Amino acid sequence: MGVRPVGVFLVVIFLTPVLTPTVMADWDDDNWLWNLIGPERLEHGDEFACHGYEGLDINYDNSVIESCKNYLSSHTNSSRWGSEPISFGVPDIITNSTISSLKESGFIILGDNLKTETEDFFIVQRNGGSLEKNVADIGLLESAEKDSLISIYWEARIFDLKVREDKPAIDFLENQDIWYTTWGEWFNHNISSSRILIDSSNSTINLELPINSDSNWNVPGSLMINTEANVSSVQFGDGEIFPLLTPDTKSLREGWRLTEEGIIISISPGDEVVIQLEQNLSFSHSPLKTFNDLHHSVTVVGHHVKNLHEWASDFYDSPLLFTWLIERPAALEMDWRLPIIAIAVLIATPLTIKWLVARDKSIRES
């Protein structure tokens, strides 16, 4: 065997594993959805929504929509308010067949950069920029309108690049009088707020929020009661004391507090509340779009979430709430040729070295 053939053989042996592509086959599971991180984020108030399957376009394969819903539902509830996912992160353009599949699978909220016009869903637009370092726009966050929902983009990893969060933007958000919420929570809170029943007799105001049979989520609603009367007591229908809110309560829950205008109250579906006033004075009421009458609402939207631990690791101590767009990760399957190549290298390398040593020895002796 000559020098050149041996060299070519070695080059082929060592380059083949490098040039041979890995093959994506079958699908993996993100264990963090149901181990430690998922339950903690759920208790914190986050929402788990769908984003599809890694590498697949829902416009070309509509079955991914229902499959993603089943994948998510089999591992976690979507929210503390409801088990079924109702939000889906879609591409900028979606086809009519995709719209039909989304409706059939029960999704009612789409986001967050959709250019296709549709009246079949509640559309959330990306209007808060990004939390990526040197990309976040605090000026944009400062200009949010009263009672608006600000949706902010976040992706922890783009290909092999780890994305760093913008700490000044996070600090800014954590120190604002804003409601930390999610897509589904914000949407259903508005519906619940409009469904609160109110009745009065003398100095007693009775509130009730019937359970919505058309919704899979049971989200509290909020009301502003304008009155100059002093409040004697606020209780559940069974006489138990109704909990208090404070002006800096920024995460949705049941409760009430006094303001200069009167009473702010949030009530859960199925509950009845009795407000006893000290005077028999007139009052007016109106649904609140933003919980606790905070200025506006903010959610951070995690895109292409294939590893919840990696996407959430920078925010474990943050009060911010996230709408996680869960994407089922593809499983990596090694090419069947690689073990054969490895064995060939294992056998060929010592034989080649032995041959080269013998050749050199023969040359020196000649």
Domain-embedded: residue 317: yes
| 299/278 same-domain check | no
Domain-embedded: residue 189: no
Q: Please give the tally of structural domains in the chain.
A: 3
Domain-embedded: residue 190: no
Domain-embedded: residue 185: no
Domain-embedded: residue 183: no
The whole-number pLDDT of residue 249 equals 98
Neighbours of 337 (CB within 10 A): 12
pLDDT tens digits along 251-310? 999 999 999 999 999 999 999 999 999 999 899 999 999 999 999 999 999 999 999 999
Closest CA to 207 of 257, 251, 268, 291: 268
| 134/202 same-domain check | no
| 47/114 same-domain check | yes
Domain-embedded: residue 151: yes
pLDDT tens digits along 174-214? 999 999 999 999 999 999 999 999 999 999 999 999 999 99
| 139/226 same-domain check | no
| 262/323 same-domain check | no
| 84/173 same-domain check | yes
The whole-model pTM stands at 0.85
Task: Give the range of the structural domain holding residue 14, as residue numbers without chain letter.
Answer: 1-22+339-366
CB 75 within 8 A of CB 31: no
| 207/277 same-domain check | yes
Tokens matching residue 58: 């829902």
| 323/343 same-domain check | no
Segments of the chain scoring below 70 in pLDDT: 1-25, 332-346, 348, 351-352, 355-357, 359, 361, 364-366
The whole-number pLDDT of residue 12 equals 47
| 38/5 same-domain check | no
| 42/143 same-domain check | yes
| 167/233 same-domain check | no
The whole-number pLDDT of residue 341 equals 57
Sign, CA torsion 31/34/38/40:
negative
Angstrom distance (rounded) from CA 107 to CA 249? 30
β pairing state of 221-226 and 23-27? unpaired
